[in-house]
Amino acid sequence: MPRVRPVIVVANWKMNTTPREAGDLAGRIAAATNEPDVVRVICPPFVGLHAVRDALAGTDVQLGVQNVHWEQAGAYTGEISAAMVAGLAGWAIVGHSERRRDQHETDERIGQKMRRCHETGIRPIFCVGEKLDERESGRAEQVVRSQVEAAFEALGPVEWPAHDDDATGGWLVVAYEPVWAIGTGRTARGSDAAEMAELIRETAGNAMPREQAAALPVLYGGSVTSATIGEFLAEPALDGALVGGASLKVDEMAGIVARAAVGARARKSAGPVS
Ligand code: PEP
């Protein structure tokens, strides 16, 4: 059935904030971003989860984590599984480029993490994106297509949950994050990011029900601020943003979500996209 894709803003705090700071910041962001038309998710460090959950109680801002392990339990010192955070966090970033770079995460592991999320009812925010040399050599689309294909292959056959919730979208969200744009102050062109979003949906449609692939929310990530978000939300193919550095600033988050709310309302009045 045709649907309006939701507008989603995800805050990735990375390795910032003590638990006390996290609770305080989450409370202030929730108060400054009271826009029910925008799905808002905060992903603090694991140790801040309880403080942020308490700070978000009574608001409609949702809680996520920045990673999960590819197994649910076992001899993996220092790791945290989807099973451990299920019931606390509803979302998990998987495959962030900083983890691909620093923890050498492969597409296969990332697909396995998505499977663990599926088993525990957590919604993955699956990150893909090309490096600078890959874009400059004209291979950006090939790289992103292969990241999506390989992760879906490792995810394996899953029952795609009924996509009946227009307010928050289906089970999966993809974030297109060109690596050269993350934390650099450089952003992709809105039109380039939109083309990549369509390529992601088309590729996903080979591995999941086509109707749900057409409704797959695709976010842009990479140096998004309140000043740059507009270019991305002007693209009907893009459904919001994954925000790193700017998500630690209350004013920036207020500006980003306010702009996203304008886009969300325009989208609702324009009607279904698929
Ligand atoms: C991110 O962490 O996913 C990100 C996009 O970071 P930044 O907004 O700082 O570029």
CATH number of the domain enclosing 44: 3.20.20.70
pLDDT of amino acid 115: 97
Ligand 1 centre distance from Cα of residue 221 (Å): 6
DSSP-assigned beta bridge partners for residue 39: 8
Q: Is 177 a catalytic residue?
A: yes
Q: How far apart are the first and last CA of the chain?
A: 8
Regarding the beta carbon of 169 and ligand 1, being less than 6 Å apart is answered: no
Query: Does residue 231 fall inside a structural domain?
Result: yes
Residues 112, 124: Cα–Cα separation, whole Å: 11
Q: What is the tally of structural domains in the chain?
A: 1
What SS3 class is residue 89? Answer: strand
Residues 46, 52: Cα–Cα separation, whole Å: 10
Mutate which of 8, 9, 10, 12 for ligand 1? The one with the most ligand atoms within 8 Å of its CB, which is 12
pLDDT of amino acid 2: 47
Query: Does residue 39 fall inside a structural domain?
Result: yes
Query: Does residue 1 fall inside a structural domain?
Result: no
Regarding the beta carbon of 10 and ligand 1, being less than 6 Å apart is answered: no
Residue-range definition of the domain harbouring residue 264? 7-270
What SS3 class is residue 142? Answer: helix
pLDDT of amino acid 160: 82
Query: Does residue 239 fall inside a structural domain?
Result: yes
Catalytic residue among 105, 134, 177, 235: 177
pLDDT of amino acid 4: 82
pLDDT of amino acid 164: 57
Helix (H) or strand (E) holding 206: none
Within 13 A of 162's CA, how many CA atoms are on the CB side?
Answer: 2
Instruction: Tell me the pLDDT tens digit for each residue of 16-32.
Output: 999 999 999 999 999 99
What residues in the chain have per-residue pLDDT under 50?
1-2
Residues 99, 67: Cα–Cα separation, whole Å: 9
Query: Does residue 2 fall inside a structural domain?
Result: no
Q: Is 96 a catalytic residue?
A: yes
Mutate which of 128, 242, 247, 256 for ligand 1? The one with the most ligand atoms within 8 Å of its CB, which is 242
Residue type at 112 in one-letter notation: Q
pTM for the structure as a whole: 0.96
pLDDT of amino acid 75: 98
**Which residue has a Cα nearest atom 4 of ligand 1?**
244
Query: Does residue 179 fall inside a structural domain?
Result: yes
Query: Does residue 143 fall inside a structural domain?
Result: yes
pLDDT of amino acid 162: 65
**Helix 140-155 / helix 190-204 crossing angle, nearest 10 deg:** 30
